[in-house]
């Protein structure tokens, strides 16, 4: 170690949980009974937060907590540690040590080159020195992934820009990946009054929730009250007949169809990192395969067919044109991120390929699916819900035939691009749909969309409003009083 570089000064004072830990909690990577080791915990803010929430967590740091006893844990967090180590060989050593303590998943995060600001930085080795003489190494997404994979000799999974998951428990890995492509669906409501259903509504509720979540009947070990249901109805299958009779068959058939699609999307996208054999799947995924596609071979064949279709730009263009979701332009289909799970399967795989490169883009609330070249962009529009015409603040462009992502920052733009017709980006059942639609209708009546060559930017839009003596108050168009 170079003693002149004060690594400990890079530890931050934070009043909120770090991004890697927050993502791990939101995605259910960290579960209720998980044991956690924060390897290089700095001042221990994540440790305090996790303990306060009831998790079993310890933190070790060579400067702030050197005496903490380290032990193997389900989850090990190596949070923004390797990017402050100026010696390349030492980075490798630290990564391998953290991996040695990992039972299930190692979370590795580092500063991404998208965060790099050149002001006051001095080139040093393969990184930079700051004004405080601390070291920072900024990584390209693919550079970080390749380094992790080569060092540990195992494939990592992109969670977000600069954040990767490395799984030691491979069954847990496949179950986790599959859950990311499983849409959130509501259970069908009761359609008719049924005495047997009403009498056992509370008993049947866990089964209904499982069926909604998985689209198939559970194995007896997957449902806590399976024995009580079997005692009352004779079998889970018979209990489901009662549920179908009371709620209707059509919606359950649709749930099964959508869960089958979710499974095929998972199998298609997992091929990039090496699709596991059937024996290496978790038990719940094995049951999914048998229930939806009978055999693993058939499942993989159907998944490959979808994957190859997503690589055909003509089919992507056709799917974009035929989609009843999103705003179609001559070059792309734009959707709000909330609408992504409802896209046609081929477009979900298309976007999933991009997400495989960069992970989840949290701020990217509008997704641009390019129709004519293999490229997906994530755009962020702050206050999409509140601002009638939100301004573009930044974008990440992911070319699917080139691992290098591009970032564009419009934060300081004097004339940023703005959005119109927001109702086209969201789903029909979105509670904001009617509000956005009413605004568009008002703007159409006032002729505000006639001059399309200038209204795409904030200044051009203001010019059009001024020309017609109009102003916006929330999502309403008002005449300016003279």
Domain boundaries, the chain: 7-168, 178-183+256-310, 195-247, 313-422, 428-479
- What is the reported pLDDT for 2? 46
Read off the DSSP letter of residue 214. H
Paired sense of beta strands 366-370 and 375-380, if any: antiparallel
- pLDDT tens, position by position, 356-405: 999 989 889 999 999 999 999 999 999 999 999 999 999 999 999 887 88
Question: What average pLDDT does the segment 330-344 reach?
Answer: 96
E-strand spans in 337-444? Answer: 366-370, 375-380, 394-399, 406-409
Half-sphere exposure at residue 450, Cβ-oriented, CA atoms within 13 angstroms:
9
Read off the DSSP letter of residue 190. P
Q: Which residues contact residue 434 at a Cβ distance below 8 angstroms, ignoring those fewer than 6 apart?
A: none
- Residue 427: strand, helix, or coil: coil
- pLDDT tens, position by position, 26-82: 999 999 899 999 999 988 999 999 999 999 999 999 889 999 999 999 999 999 999
- What is the reported pLDDT for 126? 81
Question: What average pLDDT does the segment 335-344 reach?
Answer: 95
> CATH class for domain 7-168?
alpha beta
- Residue 315: strand, helix, or coil: helix
Instruction: List strands edge to edge, sheet with 332-336.
Output: 327-328, 332-336, 366-370, 375-380, 394-399, 406-409
Give the Cα separation of 215 and 240 in Å (integer).
Answer: 12
Percentage of residues of the chain with pLDDT beyond 90? 76
- What is the reported pLDDT for 403? 73
Would you say how long the chain is, in residues?
Answer: 482
DSSP track, 39-94: ET-TT-HHHHHHHHTT-EEEEEBTTTBTTPPP--EEEEEEES-GGG---HHHHHHH
- pLDDT tens, position by position, 415-426: 999 999 999 999
- What is the reported pLDDT for 1? 42
Closest CA to 124 of 86, 89, 94: 86
Closest CA to 119 of 107, 128, 110: 128
Mean per-residue pLDDT of the chain? 91
- What is the reported pLDDT for 124? 80
Checking if the pLDDT of 324 tops 90, the result is: yes
Question: What average pLDDT does the segment 91-108 reach?
Answer: 97
Read off the DSSP letter of residue 277. P
Q: Which residues contact residue 1 at a Cβ distance below 8 angstroms, ignoring those fewer than 6 apart?
A: 7, 87, 90
Cα angle: 49, vertex 52, 55; to 5 degrees: 90
Closest CA to 332 of 349, 345, 351, 308: 351
Please name the residue that has the structure tokens 């001059």.
451
Closest CA to 363 of 297, 414, 409, 403: 409
- pLDDT tens, position by position, 444-457: 999 999 988 899 99
- pLDDT tens, position by position, 213-252: 999 999 988 999 999 999 999 999 999 999 998 888 899 9
């Amino acid at each position: 170690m170079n003693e002149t570089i004060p690594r400990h000064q890079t530890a931050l004072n934070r009043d909120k949980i770090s991004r890697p830990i927050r993502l791990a909690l939101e995605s259910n990577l960290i579960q209720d009974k998980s044991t956690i080791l924060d390897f290089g915990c700095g001042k221990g803010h994540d440790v305090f937060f996790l303990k306060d929430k009831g998790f079993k967590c310890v933190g070790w740091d060579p400067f702030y907590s050197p005496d903490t006893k380290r032990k193997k844990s389900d989850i090990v967090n190596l949070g923004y540690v390797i990017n402050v180590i100026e010696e390349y060989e030492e980075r490798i050593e630290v990564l391998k040590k953290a991996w040695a303590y990992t039972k299930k998943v190692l979370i590795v995060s580092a500063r991404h080159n998208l965060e790099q600001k050149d002001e006051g930085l001095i080139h040093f080795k393969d990184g930079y020195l700051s004004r405080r003489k601390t070291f920072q190494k900024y990584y390209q997404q693919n550079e970080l992934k390749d380094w992790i994979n080569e060092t540990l000799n195992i494939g990592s999974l992109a969670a977000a820009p600069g954040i990767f998951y490395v799984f030691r428990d491979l069954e847990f890995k496949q179950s986790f990946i599959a859950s990311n492509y499983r849409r959130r669906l509501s259970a069908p409501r009761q359609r008719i009054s049924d005495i047997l259903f009403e009498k056992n509504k509370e008993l049947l509720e866990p089964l209904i929730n499982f069926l909604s979540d998985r689209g198939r009947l559970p194995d007896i070990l997957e449902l806590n009250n399976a024995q009580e249901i079997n005692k009352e109805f004779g079998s889970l299958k018979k209990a489901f007949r009662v549920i179908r009779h009371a709620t209707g068959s059509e919606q359950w058939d649709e749930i099964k169809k959508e869960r089958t699609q979710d499974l095929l999307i998972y199998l298609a996208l997992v091929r990039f990192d090496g699709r596991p054999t059937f024996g290496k799947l978790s038990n719940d995924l094995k049951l999914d395969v048998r229930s939806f596609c009978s055999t693993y071979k058939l499942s993989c064949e159907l998944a490959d067919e979808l994957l190859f279709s997503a690589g055909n730009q003509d089919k992507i263009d056709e799917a974009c044109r035929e989609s009843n979701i999103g705003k179609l332009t001559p070059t792309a289909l734009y959707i709000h991120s909330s609408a992504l799970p409802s896209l046609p399967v081929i477009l979900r795989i298309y976007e999933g390929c991009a997400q495989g490169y960069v992970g989840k883009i949290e701020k990217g609330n509008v997704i641009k699916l390019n129709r004519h070249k293999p490229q997906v962009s994530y755009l962020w529009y702050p206050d999409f819900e509140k601002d009638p015409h939100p301004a573009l603040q930044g974008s990440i462009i992911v070319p699917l035939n080139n691992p290098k992502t591009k970032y564009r920052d419009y934060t300081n733009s004097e004339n940023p691009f703005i959005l119109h017709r927001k109702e086209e980006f969201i789903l029909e059942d979105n509670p904001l749909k009617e509000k956005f639609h009413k605004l568009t209708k008002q703007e159409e009546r006032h002729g505000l969309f006639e001059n399309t060559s200038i209204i795409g930017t904030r200044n051009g839009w203001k010019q059009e409003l001024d020309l017609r003596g109009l102003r916006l108050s929330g999502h309403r168009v008002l005449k300016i009083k003279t």
